[in-house]
Structure 1
Amino acid sequence: MQPLISVILPVYNASKFLAEAIDSILAQDFQNFELLIINDGSTDDSQLIINGYSDKRIRVFEKSNGGLIDTLAFGIERSDSLWIARMDADDVALPKRFEIQFQSIADDVAVIGTQASLINEDGVEYGRTKFALNHKDIVVQLENLSSSIIHPSVLINKKMLEKAGGYDPKMHIAEDFDLWLRISKIGKIINIDQPLLKLRKHGSNISATKLDIATDNCLISLAYHYKINSLVIMPEEFYHTVSKKIAMWSKSYKKNVIEWERGKNEIGNNGSFGKIIYLTMHPNLIVNYARIFLSKKKLLDKIKYT
């Protein structure tokens, strides 16, 4: 019987949290899925952990290291379902994730995301997301350069994903932001107002280590969204031409954002009282937030009319 959901789980040197991620998928109340675990050239014990599982729903692949987008494309091409579920090797899916997401499937829906509990490296919860729920508000947030949908939480319509051209290999960071803008032109993007994923934040997250590249790629995607308004992947020439302009425009904004994210992560690792102490000792964090707000507004105005 054809599975209703194909879960794509890319793995690269993820041995520390991998078993917990796999276990959380296998423990789903919704059972009609296949789990494609793709080892993208790991050099740690990831493959040994993967080999320890024997479940008819699991399909294991090993490939040379090609990065996340290459691994996602590899998995999507080999998936047997009409709906693709994303999962990262350091996160934890709650048992009712697929069951609740599947209830929201409709002909005009392209992407179904969820809220998430934020956990630190030790699995301790320190916050929850509160993203927009409906398509219009999600797109407005994207256009405001704001997080609005959690990539490893999503269920994606495979036909719409393929019609939009899939992930752009040029967007080796912030590949999801670019896809959401393109796929939003042919289908709705929605979020379920429940935390159905534990999203792990730690120092090795790509979003933390390469925030400057991610920011530039988001801005390039926005420029393409406004100027071309197409669901087709942007041409190479457009990417390189616009990236030169954005690199000059975004320096101060990115500096402020990186400082803000660093401060947020430090706050997240403290208890409630610790957060108050941190803010008292670091009032510059509030000033930094104001700088981000003002510099982003100027930057987005430039992007809109590039």
Structure 2
Amino acid sequence: MGTDPLVSVVIPSYNHEKYIESAISSVLNQTYKNLELIVIDDGSKDRSLELIRQFKDPRLQVHAQENAGAHATINRGLEMAQGDFLTVLNSDDLYEPERLEICLKRFADNPDLGLVSSWINVIGSEGNLLGVKQGWENMQPWDLGDPDRSFRKTGSFSLNLLSSNYVATTSNMLWTRAVYQAVGGMRDLRFVHDWDYLLRVASQFPCEQVEQPLMRYRIHDSNTIHSNYDWMMFEICWVITANLNRFFGSQLFNKEELSAEITDLDMLYESINFQGNEKLVWLIQNYLTHLTQQGHPSPEEELIHNKTLREFFISKVKKPVEEQAPSRPPVLHRLHSHLKKVKQRMF
């Protein structure tokens, strides 16, 4: 790579006329200038495409398509990308001005890195700051039994991903072309395609987190995660079941002493929370084993592509107990609870 490698930014745009101009501007106004911006409008029904086409910058490419979904739109953009580094920005999020410059310095300092993320400024629908998510250190989506015995004590980027998607969003990932060539694109998931991608990358490549908020992640009522609790919980159970064994023998259970193996087992036990859906996890795991033994070429994808199978597993998601259950999905409930405390301290 040259001293100023090309960065490809992909924005999948869908019905975010309120936010899309800010998203695009946050890319074009980066302090790092050698970039291409690929915006693909995924069949928006509002004025998004009209607003996108008002921008006049030679680094910007605009494409329109019939609605295909987030993961397919992202993958199309990644296939078009020419950059040495690849990244995605959701059309309701924003980059801080120095994001690319600071993240690229991490890669320059450590050429072995495959992916970099950062802390996050969490904002409301109108752009007001709600709090700063500091990776795995705060705003946990669910309780861990004993954090001092969990993966949190390791300070490991990859192992902490097994507890939750603390990176939080597709917008918070910058990775190399070598990673893309090895891992490929996003898989066809509605809620956790970013988490799945992170686990696939982190199991193979060194990754780092910049301890500085370099993007703004927007919380609003139309976030995808609001839409279907059961489907979301199925995908959470699926993503851990489908990816956990990628870490065996390399980052987990890679030591000869039995005591070290027991320590890894204990950390794993304290780090995983399936919200009462352990039976569903057991079912997914055993059916994946069955498909593998039958010689199925892609057993993991079968569970998410086969509508009949997917709906069966979704139907087995355990509903949260009413008096304990938040009105939001647990991932957002914990986040909003923390942000409420943040705002109370602010005022």
Same fold (TM over 0.5): yes
Q: Does 1:159 align with 2:181?
A: no
Q: Is the 8 A contact 2:114 2:205 kept in 1?
A: yes
- Between 1:214-223 and 1:241-250, the stretch displaced more is 241-250
For residue 108 of structure 1, what is the aligned residue in structure 2?
A: 112
Distance 2:58 2:80 in 1: 16
Once residues 271 and 145 of structure 1 are traced to their aligned partners in structure 2, the CA distance between those partners, rounded to angstroms, is: 21
The 5 A counterparts of 1:123-134 are 123-132=127-136
Q: Which residue pairs with 1:256 in the alignment? A: 325
Pairs within 5 Å for 1:165-184: 165-169=184-188, 171-184=189-202
1:43 maps to: 45
TM-score with structure 2 setting the length = 0.69
Q: TM-score, normalised by structure 1?
A: 0.78
Which of the residues 296, 301, 309 maps onto 1:236? 301
Structure 1 residues 253 and 95, CA, compared in 2 at 3 Å: closer, same or farther? farther
Deviations 1:248-287 (A, max 9, x none): 35433898363653575477479834999xxxxxxxxxxx
Return the letter of the residue paired with 2:301: E
Distance 1:145 1:267, change over 3 A: closer
For the Cα contact (< 8 Å) 1:141–1:148, is it kept in 2?
no
Residue 188 of structure 1 pairs with residue 194 of structure 2: no
- AA of the residue aligned to 2:325: N
Cα deviation, 1:164-193, whole Å, max 9, x if unaligned, reads 232112x13210111111112221222111
Secondary structure at 2:135 match in 1 = coil
Residue correspondence of structure 1 range 202-221 to structure 2 within 5 A: 202-221=220-239
SS in 2 for 1:121: coil
Deviation at 1:238, TM superposition (A): 5.2
* CA–CA distance in structure 1, aligned partners of residues 337 and 244 of structure 2: 36
1:160–1:272: structure 2 CA closer, same or farther, 3 Å change rule?
Answer: closer
How much has 1:131 moved relative to structure 2?
0.7
CA contact (8 A) 1:119 1:126 kept: yes
The Cα shift of 1:145 comes to: 3.2
* Alpha-carbon displacement from aligned partner over 1:193-248 (angstroms, at most 9, x marks no partner): 11011111001011222344233212112112235769x97543455669856753
Q: Which range moves more in the overlay, 142-151 or 108-117?
A: 142-151
Aligned residues: 274
155-164 vs 257-266, greater mean Cα deviation: 257-266
